[in-house]
Structure 1
Amino acid sequence: MDQSQTTTAPRPGKVAYKRIATEEAFAPAEMLQIWRKILEGADPDPGFVSLIGFYMSSKSARARHIIECLTDLGEQRLHHMDEAGIDRQVIALTSPGVQVMDGESAVAFAKVANDELAEAVRKHPTRFTGMVAVAPQDPEAAAKEIERGVQKLGLNGVIINSHTHGEYLSDPKFWAIFEAAEANDTPIYLHPNTPPRNMIQPFLECGLDGAIFGFGVETGLHALRIITAGVFDHFPKLRIILGHMGEALPFWAYRLDYMHRATVKSERYACMKPIQKKPSDYLRENFYITNSGVADEAAIKYTQGMMGADRVMYAMDYPYQHAIEEVGILDNMSSTPEDKKRFYQTNAEVAFGLK
């Protein structure tokens, strides 16, 4: 392991709350083989090549650590959780999951991945919670898999790794996914993906296409497309979770409200119609935010102030950012005991319906 995976920080001590990490990743070994074939195919997606092509070919300590940890749903993962003081992980199929596959393969493998994750949850019911992976390539099949994942497999939440071959859930053809999530009272975690083919080149030119910046830009765009398309007017009980301090959207809330109102009023774009509330209202009422990858008290406090303390929760972003010292930083935030418990434990329990 390199320095990004090792630390001299002491193991976090016992606290008066459970530490629930809500954006933790896994990858079935079989999926890596499918990904390898995609990489070897004709003209693979450039973002996929930049992200997964690196992790699957690099001999760096970081790349080897991440691949090894992604495929483990047993003792190594539990050891890393204990080492970091994490009581429970909420686990999801890592990006881009099945969304880089062709439609038929994606639908089939989503079931395989969900079965594997559900089995790990059954083995470790107090330590693991799983999210349902779906193939947006076939929205009706995705809706059925949400129902199966929640009602039969006992999974909590749905993982969508942002765009699917450059298409976004703001398109009504995908709204069967929202309908199923709302009907099953389960949140959608809108997780980053690398920017799509028609967006990525300026990011690739300077190495900013991944988690350092491109992820947040692309996923923030996706969330805004969902808001401005009026999705929550059609599905008012739908809940979406955004990581990485909301992909910066809470910090833009004032300007988003102002410019959305001005743009609608000016009738500049035929695609931007009036919606029932301000963009920031939907953020506060229909979204949860996790701090995944951001151990910054000032950012967390600002987002709690904007969203409400019951809307912001903890995530580590394992194994991509397994930094034990960050747990201590967050344990030591100047929050009330009640707010700290909300952040680490009870908000996740409410959002994911944990018992």
Structure 2
Amino acid sequence: MSPTLIDLPHRPYRRIATEEAFCPPEMLEIYNKILAKGDVDVGFKHLMGFYMSSPSERAQHIMRCLVDLDDLRLQHMDEAGVDVQVIGLTSPGVQIMDKDTAVSFAPVANDILAAAMRRHPDRLVGMIAVAPQDPAAAAKEIQRGVNQLNMHSVVINSHTQGEYLSDTKFWPIFEAAEAMGTPIYLHPNAMPASMIQHFIEAGLDGAIYGFGVETGLHALRLITSGVFDRFPKLQIILGHMGEALPFWAYRLDYMHAATVKSKRYPSIQPTQKKPSDYLRENFHITNSGVAWGAALKFTQDFMGPDRVLYAMDYPYQYAPEEVGILEGLDMAPQVRQAFFQDNAERLFKIPSATPSV
């Protein structure tokens, strides 16, 4: 039997899940219009196009849960022993839309999420959705999200129609995020058309592998382009155990230095620090989708236990038994509390409270 709230041990901390998704029905209407066009982005078609049309039990579960910000979501949280969800607009969010639609809908999505936060103030925390298609508008929405909606983090679903945030035209977003103290959750997106075909052929384009490859690439582009030299206080969150980047850290450091020395690529220039330094100082990592003790321990050792957080990846990976697996790992009490509660409270500016049970 999967562990439920009553099966899990009593603890003096809350379990805060930090990469959980939602999708307003209004956004699905926009998606339907996009999918009805003849030139649909192949990654979008294989991602949301599948989930929105498939009769499979998994797809139906995901779509039912994505649109619910009330009873069903709270029920699932209670059954899994999750006290609080930190929620972001599901991938690809507004980033698949044309510029005008994206800029106009991002505030709508944020207002919907903010209303749910007001209905459930002790259970739901929101991340600010923005439209990178208009960096100036995105910066203003970050400011509005913090000042008016009580949201203190931003979600960006990786690339925007094949464009990456390493391009300096997007840097007003980083400037606003750094100024407002809002970390950016760099969440996976389907690969752009220029990358995806060989992954689709093998059935590896989604969460099984492709998401991590694409989002890890995006994070590395931020590091090598000098984003963190320009914005040293900027904080980025990566899910899925850091999209495997901590496990590559040694080779990243060596090969980055070797590539700079060889002057092989104009895009690879010297940076003030090693790639691994930026990972440790400008990134936070959640374990979303990876309830594996060996990987978690390595990541905590590499990043430091104050930069690794709990996440479930609801509803795409709703696995209540994983909470019990993580609770059963050998962690010092203070590390366990940091993992489940303290790091999230600090990073997302969540008021402290006692757990529900």
Q: TM-score, normalised by structure 1?
A: 0.97
2:210 maps to which of 208, 214, 220: 214
- Return the alpha-carbon distance in structure 2 between the equivalents of residues 271 and 301 of structure 1: 34
Matched AA of 1:265: K
What is the CA-CA distance between 1:248 and the residue it aligns to? Answer: 0.2
Residue pairs, 1:132-281, within 5 angstroms? 132-281=128-277
- 2:43 is matched with 47
Unmatched segments (≥5 aa) in structure 1? 1-6
Contact in 1 for aligned 2:95/2:102 (Cα 8 Å):
yes
Deviations 1:96-133 (A, max 9, x none): 00000000000001010000000111111110000000
Residue pairs, 1:1-355, within 5 angstroms? 8-11=2-5, 12-355=8-351
Q: How many residues matched?
A: 349
What is the Cα-based RMSD across aligned positions, in Å? 0.8
What is the CA-CA distance between 1:184 and the residue it aligns to? Answer: 0.4
Unmatched segments (≥5 aa) in structure 2? 352-357
What is the CA-CA distance between 1:16 and the residue it aligns to? Answer: 2.2
Matched AA of 1:270: P
What is the CA-CA distance between 1:8 and the residue it aligns to? Answer: 3.8
- 2:355 is matched with none
What is the CA-CA distance between 1:156 and the residue it aligns to? Answer: 2.0
- Return the alpha-carbon distance in structure 2 between the equivalents of residues 262 and 285 of structure 1: 22
- Return the alpha-carbon distance in structure 2 between the equivalents of residues 348 and 297 of structure 1: 19
Identity of aligned residues (%): 68
What is the CA-CA distance between 1:350 and the residue it aligns to? Answer: 1.1
Contact in 2 for aligned 1:13/1:85 (Cα 8 Å):
no
What is the CA-CA distance between 1:316 and the residue it aligns to? Answer: 0.2
Deviations 1:190-209 (A, max 9, x none): 00001101000010101100
Runs of 4+ in structure 1 over 3 Å off? 7-11
What is the CA-CA distance between 1:353 and the residue it aligns to? Answer: 1.4
